[in-house]
Each structure stands twice: as structure tokens, then as C-alpha cells.
Amino acid sequence: MDPLPPAGAASVRSVGVLSTLYFFSGATGLCYEVLWARMVGAQFGVSTFGVAATVAAFLLGLGLGAAAGGRAALAWSPAQALRRYAMLEGIVAAYALLLPALAGAGGPLLDSLAPQLSWWQWCAVQGLTAIALLALPAAAMGASFPVVLRALPNAAPALGRLYAANTFGAAAGAVLALALLATVGWMRAVQAVALGGALISGAALLASRKADAAPVPRLGTTPPQSLQAPQWRALLAYAAVGACALMLEIAWTRLYGIVLLRSEYVLAVILAVYLLGTALGSRLAARSGQRLLSAIPLVACAGILLGVWALAPLSSWLQGRHFASLAAALGVQALALAACTLPVTCALGAWLPALARADQVGQGSDGAADVRPHGTLLYGANCLGGAIGALLSVFLCIPLLGTVGTVVLAAVLMLLLGPLLGASRGTLAALAPAIVAAFDLHAFPPPQRMLGPQAEATQERYRYEDALSLSQVVETPDGQRILLTDLQHLDASSDPAAVQLQADQARLPLLLHRAPGSVLFLGLGTGISASGSLAYPGLQRTAVEISPGAIAAAGQWFAPVNGAVMTQTRVAAGDARHFLAASKARYDVIVGDLFHPDIAGMGNLLSVEQFARARHCLAPGGLFVQWLAINQFDRESLHTVLRSFGRVFPDGQLFLDGAHLALVGSLDPLAQGLAARLAGMDPLLPSPASGGEGAATWLGRYWGPVGGGTGPVQTEAQPVIEFRLPRLRYGGADEDDAAPVAEILRELLRQRPAPDEAARRLGLEAGQLAGFSSAYAASELYVQSWLATLDGDERRARQRLQLAFEANPQDRWIASELAEDQWQAMQRDGTADTPEAIERVLRIYPEHVAALRAAWHRAAQGHAPDAAAARERLRRVAPLDRELAGNAVRLP
């Protein structure tokens, strides 16, 4: 137990009462930080510098506030300190309510500046803006620590308890901020947290009235021993610990966000576990001193290195797990995360109270030890070091060393800093083995180890890391390449079927425009989507891509399958939201790429605000298409996106291409564009612009107007889908994972207009009706076949697929699926290698890879004169095929 307060001190000065207040202060403070970070992200877009600038500005304010507050608090009595604390909490609450208006007022100015500034100038503007917006409230929060500490008797043992209480509150605040965002939205969450801050302010003011108001003499002017020159080394060392801690936190968030799937829920769990460990360490160290200082750097270093060693086994184990619900998944993940990080975070949390107790400062006027100046200076130095560490991690360490390399660097540095902070020099005996272990562990584990035995065998060919994303190009045994984002998110593939599907993302909107002269792609990926525009030689192409790794991969690793489209495309590296907000250019066609909407922050790309930005950047007669993958949504989440799109494009229309839904919005009625564009095309003849399928096939993929019914929409202030979609990733072994897709398909079938009504809405002419009717029926039969497959009715699925092919054999997805179904059947009965079987499959779908390969093998084995031609047919469809590369045939 801590010593009792001196006689005459009021009970409100007890550690327990103030610790309770400071617990709630920590909760509101962390809520503020999360909510403000989201605000800054909405202003500047998702960028590495934006993340680093937000964290650095917040920690800079905390550090400066702690230093200034510690010096000023020396002259105050406990009652005065409590009143100042109440004032600080009130200032933060009031500022929190004012901050959205300030940020909104400066938005137009920032948007106007962006096109005029270089990249580094824009980074400087972001940093200065973050500091201007966040430094003041953060400084008030930082100052509250020494001010509350001043209100305590015998602060040496109380510092650890107070710091622990605040950090426990912060851990709770990480979860509370998520709950508020999910239930009431951003603006109301800010208001609710500000109300909580006001209540804390009122409680502190009430406590000050009961406190002993007797003044406490000012400390003498002679510098205490700990503030003399030699002790500055300790302050600098503890600032370096803060830098290492932030390097570790950012790198851990990157690594465990990859392992646990980076959703809003997972980020809250990571932050809460990190803070919980810090709080536990602070509480355990509240009564410890010198004996703990030697153990802390050893525990921190060993724990970090062991966590890195366990990263791949943990990831592999989690990928093979099945969970009954999102709550169960998060619970297991939190326990796994705690097992890997808790020893380290406990050590970090123990460092400050252990230092404060082991190196007390001078004597107070009553002869009692007084650590308040030293403890708050250490706290302030740690925060300032953390601000520097946040910047170092994202701009130097992760780009140069990689994320894992940054983690092991932090481990070695913490061990080196130990002797400067009171640890025995004997701890340096562990330095050599730590360096050896760090060198062995510094590389990011290969995808096969991370994804486990259930993943397809792959070989990594390229990797790019920054603090925002990890981009990898992996190669399968047959030579096909896959672009992975954050390890588990498959962005795109060079597989021939995937290439066609990606290229269609450009084909549809360009077909629907009357005369496209410019196109903007919001997202580049592998560049395969943009390659669908190569049928328009005079087209001006622009793409926005946030990942430098994806840009490099598109130009180097996917050039054989994207038609070297990068040589004809201007690429802007940055966030799509900010690009649209800052752009003065206008585009005939804007294409919203596929992405994973359950990833934290991605929901903003499907918000009302984002759709409005796209509309603003359309030229007269322009057209915007947002693509969605049906299997990434449940019915309610999809309805939310449809309603959001419809609010901006009331005349929006739906098209369905394979498993992808296209939301089409235009400044003019869509029918005018269709009629004008298709007037000069024979709807039945294949053309490069239509991907060889014919315009009628694309018209047949029309599914009616954008609907969605009534309900919430997705806005940046009121996010919805990012809190619903993570639930789709988890379900028990007995749960039907296909149920959400089947429900969406049934609804699409119910809402689809009759053929004559669809033709009227599309403004089709008499000569276009025959081809349209067949294609329209074929696409509906294809969806019925898909739905029958999901329902387990294979007989009905094959029947509907055959009817769909007979209605429109030019539809690529119908033909490819029917050809694959027949090929599999012939393989089962042993007839797949006969010339008749091969020819039958290729008549249905001339690009069937397995049949083309079999035809080439037969021709080559028989030394047939058409062997080279057969090989060339396969090469055109699958240019990266590894067998082709190893069996080159010189063409005449």
C-alpha cells in the first residue's frame, strides 16, 4: 500500500480518487486522438506522411505540455493544481468541439494549395497543419500529468499508479472510440467525448474545493541533482526509448495488422493491447526501483525478438482457424497478440515509474523526497522522443530496413539504452547474441510461411514496404504472377481469366461514353484494368495509385499482361480522395477500381463525399463507374453503398460483369450516351473495344437502376460498411459462407427489369433489340446457374449454363465456365486428351488454357507443322506461362 497522506490533507488528495479521475482522462484523451487522426486522414487522404504527421504532432504537444506544466506546477498548492487540471480538461473539451469547424474552414485553402506545391512542400504543409490543429489540445493533455501529480502527497510511489491509471483508461478509450464511431458516427462521437471531458473538468473542480488550500513554498533556485548536466544524458536516453517505443508501435501495427486483417476492429485491438501492457507494467513497477531497471531492457529486447520469431507460426496458425463470430475471432487474436507483445509493453510501461523511484530529486521544503520535476521531465522527454520516432519509422527505418527490420532495430537499441538509464552494465553482455538474433530475424518471412500450408505454393519475386502498405509480387508454379497487398489481400493476377475480368473495368465505361477522350483510373493495381483502354489509341490516360510498390510492379512485373500500358499512362502517386479534391482537370470517364472495403480507411472511397468528388471532376457528358466485388459484401452493406451512390447520381444504373457489379453514374441521362456510342457499332460483331464480345453482350449485362431502398448511407462522418464487412470474414465451420452472395444474387434477379423495359431505359433502337434480347436472357440464365451452384443443385446449374451459352455464345464468362465444366467432365472419364475433346472445348471457348496446352503438346509430340502456331496461340492467352518459357519454339 502507498503511504497515507499527511495529517490534515483532504481525502480528495488521495491517490485513489485522482487515479480514478485520471483513468477517465486517459479514456477521453485516447478517444480524442483516434477521432482527430480520422479527421486529419479525411482532410489529407490516406498517406504515410499524414499518419506520421498526426502522431508526431500529438506527441510533440504532449511532451511540450508536460515540460511546461511540470515547471509551472511547482508553485501551486494541491487545490490550485486541481483547479488548473479542471481548466485543462475544459480547454481540451471546448477545443474538441471547435476543431471540426476549424478543419472544415481550412479545407478549401488546402485543396487550392495542393496542385501548386511540390511533393515535399505538400508534406511540409501537412505537417504544419497537423501541428497547428493538434499541438494545443495535446499540450493541454500533456500538462495535466504534472499538474495532477502536484495534487498528490508523496508523489514518488504515486507516479506509477497515476501513470498506470491513465494508460488503463487509454486502453479502454481505444475500444470506446471504435464503439462510438460504429454507433453514432464521427461528429457525435466527438461531441460525446467532449461531454465526458467536461464532466471530468467539473469533477476536478469540485474536488479542488475540498482540497487543502495551504500554499506550498516554491522550490529553491539551486538546480536539483537530477537536473544538473550529467542527468541530461538520462533524459536524452529516455527520449530515445520513446523513439524506439513509437518505432515499435508503428511497425507492430503494420505487422499484426497484416496477420490479423487490418480492419477498424483489429486496429483497436492492437492499440488496446499495447496500452494495456503499458498500464500493467506501470502498475507493477509503482513500488519498484533500482532492482527493476536492469531487467527492463533485457525483457524488452528478448520479448521483441521472440515476438518476431513467432510471427510466421502465429500467422500460419491464425489463417487455418475457423471462428464462430467476429467477437470470437477478435478475442482469440487479442490473446495471441498479448502473448507476443505483453512482456515488451509491460517493460516499457515499467520504465518511467522505476526511474522515478530509483532516482528521486532533491528535497522538498518539508524534507520529503520530491520527484515531481524529474518524473514529468522524463515523461515529456519520452513523448518528444516518440514524436521523432514516429517520423523516423515511416520515412527512414521502414523504407530502408523493412517493417521487421525496424522492430529488431528497436530491440537492439533498447538494450543499448539500458545502462544509460540505471541498468547494470552487465546487461550489455546480451548485446552480441541480440545482434546475431536480430540479423537472423530482420527479413520479412516469405508468404508461404506466413499464410501456412493451406495457401497456394508461391515464390516471392518483388516486395515493397512502407508504413502504409506491403506490396508483394508472388509467382505460382505455372509462372502466373499475383499482386498481394498486406499479404492476404489478392489485388490482381496474371491468370488469363483474371486478366480479362480486370480489363473489363475499363471496357464498360468507355463503351458507354459517346466519345471518350480522357480517362482517370482511381487505383492502378497491376495496370491490367487500364489495359482495357488500349483499343482507344488517342485516349489520354491518368491513374492514381497510393502504393509505390504497385506502380513499380505494374511497369515491371505485369507489363507482359497489361500491354505495357504504363508507357501510355500518366501515374500520380497519392490518395484518390485528395487527388479528386485537388484536381482542376475534368475527365470524360472516371473508373473506380476494385479494392477491399473492409480494410480500415477504405470505406471512405465508397462514401457520398467521394462519389461527389468524382462527379465534380467529370467533363460535360462524363461518366463515372465504381466497381464492386459481390463476394465482399452482404446485402445491407451493399444497399448502403447503392444508396450512397444514388444520392450523388440519381440516374445511376447497374451492370453485372461476372462477379463484379458496376455502378454507373453520368452527368447526362445514361440512355443518351448509350444510343450515341452504339449507333456506329454492329452490336453482334466482336470488336477490340468490347473485348471481343460485341456491344450487345455488354448491353445484356444491364441490371437496372441503382436502388438500395431506404436506410443509412456511407459518409466520412458516419461510416457504416467498415464496421459491418469484417463480420463476413468469420464464421463457424457449419455456417454457409456462400449465403451473403446468394442473397445478393436473388435480390438482383428480383429487381431486374423486364427485357422490353430495359430496352426502353437504355434507349435502344429497333436494330439493336434482337441481339440485346438474347444477351439479356443469357446473362440472367448465367446468374441463375451461379445461384443454383451456391444452392448445391449441380444439375440445374449445368442446365441453366447450357441455355445461357445457346442464347449468347459470345459472352466470355458463360463460354469459359461451360468449357471448363466440360473439360473437367472429360478429364474424369479419361477423354480430355483426344483431338475431338480438345476441339470441342476450344469451339466453346477458344482461350481455354488447358485445352490450348493439350493441343500444343499433341502437335509438338507428333512434330506437326502447326506446333509453332499452337504454341503461339497459348502464348497470346498466357504470356507468363512457365512451361512456354522452358520449351521455346522458334517461329518462322
Q: Where are the domains of the chain?
A: 1-216, 226-455, 492-729
pLDDT above 50: residue 729: yes
Q: Residues 407-436: pLDDT tens digits?
A: 999 999 999 999 988 888 888 999 999 999
Kindly state the average pLDDT of the residues 380-402: 90
Kind plus residue range of the DSSP H or E element containing 624: strand 618-629
Q: Is the pLDDT of residue 3 over 80?
A: no
Give the best-scoring range by mean pLDDT among 204-208, 683-687, 745-749, 888-892.
Answer: 745-749
Own/partner long-range contacts of 495-501 (Cβ < 8 Å, ≥24 apart): 496/847, 496/849, 496/877, 496/878, 497/816, 498/528, 499/528, 499/561, 500/691, 500/812, 501/657, 501/658, 501/660
**Kind of pairing, strands 660-666 and 653-657?**
antiparallel
* Average pLDDT of span 198-221: 68
- Residue 174: enclosing H or E segment and its boundaries? helix 155-184
Q: What pLDDT, on the 0 to 100 scale, is given for residue 886?
A: 67
Nearest to 701 by CA among 653, 656, 652, 664: 656
CB 662 within 8 A of CB 656: yes
**What is the per-residue pLDDT across 292-350, written as a single tens digit (0 to 9) for each?**
888 999 999 999 999 999 999 999 888 878 888 888 888 998 999 999 999 999 999 99
The arithmetic mean of pLDDT across residues 530-546, rounded, is 93
Phi-psi category of residue 452: left, alpha or beta, with phi > 0 → left and psi -120 to 50 → alpha = left
- Calculate what percentage of the chain has a pLDDT beyond 90: 44
Which neighbouring-strand residues pair with 475?
Answer: 459, 481
pLDDT reported for residue 404:
94
Question: Could you tell me the fold of the domain covering 492-729?
Answer: Rossmann fold (3.40.50)
Q: How many other CB atoms are found less than 10 A from the CB of residue 824?
A: 11
**Residue recorded with cell 495496370:** 527
* Arithmetic mean of pLDDT over the chain: 84
* Measured distance CA(593)–CA(468) in Å, rounded: 19
Return the axis-axis angle of helices 15-44 and 155-184, rounded to nearest 10°: 40
pLDDT at 213 > cutoff 70: no
Contact 591, 529 (CB under 8 A): yes
Global confidence as pTM: 0.88
Least trusted range by pLDDT, from 19-23, 741-745, 816-820: 19-23
886 against 605, higher pLDDT: 605
Nearest to 409 by CA among 427, 432, 435: 435
pLDDT at 74 over 90: no
Phi, psi of 474 (to 5 degrees): -115, 155
Sheet holding 481-485, edge to edge: 459-465, 470-475, 481-485, 489-493
CATH 1.20.1250 is held by the domain 226-455: yes
Average confidence (pLDDT) over 143-164: 76
pLDDT higher than 50, residue 232: yes
Q: How far apart are CA 272 and CA 603, in angstroms?
A: 22
- By three-state DSSP, how is residue 881 classified? coil
Confidence label for 716 from pLDDT (cuts 50, 70 and 90)? confident
For CA atoms 291, 295, 296, 297, the dihedral sign is: positive
| 435, three cell numbers | 545482434
What integer pLDDT is reported at residue 577 of this predicted model? 83
Structurally, what CATH architecture does the domain formed by 1-216 represent? Up-down Bundle (1.20)
How far is the C-alpha of 119 from the C-alpha of 108, rounded, in Å? 19
- Return the pLDDT at 302: 96
Q: What are phi and psi of 693, to 5 degrees?
A: -100, -20
Residue 538's Cβ-count burial label (10 Å; 0-12, 13-18, 19+) is exposed
Strand 569-573 relative to strand 618-629, pairing? unpaired
The pLDDT, as a whole number, for residue 366 is 38
Q: Return the higher-pLDDT residue of 216 and 782.
A: 782
